[in-house]
Amino acid sequence: MNQPRRKPRAYAPDPDAPHQGCDAAGCAHMGEYRAPKSRSQSREFFWFCLEHVRQFNASWDYYKGMSPGEIEAELRADTAWQRPSWPLGRLGQTARMENSLEEELHAFTFGHARTPVKPATPPELRDALNVLGLTWPVALAAVKAKYKELAKRHHPDANGGDKASEERLKLINLAYATLRGKLPSYQATQAAAE
């Protein structure tokens, strides 16, 4: 019968220890536990024996020398793993909202709109256009170009066989097929009306 594997204790010596003496002054024990040299040198280490690494850990203060504002900024950045983040579904929306608000105010002030009114999107094409990220009216050449771009980006081979990318690619293919089939008839109808 297999015995359950035991997890190594938190205070077990580091298996990557360089087999050198403890870095604490006057200590003759082996340095088997690593400790970062400083906040800015977190990938460089001191090697201590168990007693001295415990003393180091008790006195270690990552935020030492930082102002309260710097500490707050560091904590906020840590919530997103030091990467920029945006609210879900709002990437770039703020800039578009500011532009549309400015246009509305300009139209109100000067009595005319700066942008022409766009024709209404046909309901049958609305979902397909949203999947491809396009707006009505659109040319078939623009649909093909956008399809090629998205197909390359979401192809499973380009994403390590990711299932989410595969599902997204299926939606993109369906949207493209819908637009390729129905767009020419809408464009012909629109050209006849003009």
Q: DSSP label at 178?
A: H
Distance CA 33, CA 35 (A): 7
pLDDT at 52: 94
Residues 6+ apart with CB under 8 A from 154: 165, 168, 169, 172
pLDDT at 116: 57
DSSP letter string, 28-71: -SB--EEEES-STTTTSEEEE-HHHHHHHHHH--TTTT--HHHH
> Which domains are present in the chain?
12-82 (no CATH), 123-193 (1.10.287)
What tens-digit pLDDT sequence spans the chain (194 residues)?
A: 567 676 656 667 777 778 889 999 999 999 989 899 888 887 888 999 999 999 999 998 888 889 999 999 888 888 888 887 766 655 556 666 677 777 777 776 666 555 555 667 777 788 888 888 888 778 888 888 888 888 888 887 777 777 878 888 888 888 888 888 877 776 666 666 55
- Contact between 150 and 144 (Cβ < 8 Å): no
- Contact between 22 and 48 (Cβ < 8 Å): yes
What single letter denotes the amino acid at residue 150?
L
Only one residue has tokens 């609305």, namely: 126
* Dihedral class, residue 169 (left if φ above 0, else alpha if ψ from -120 to 50, else beta): alpha
pLDDT at 58: 92
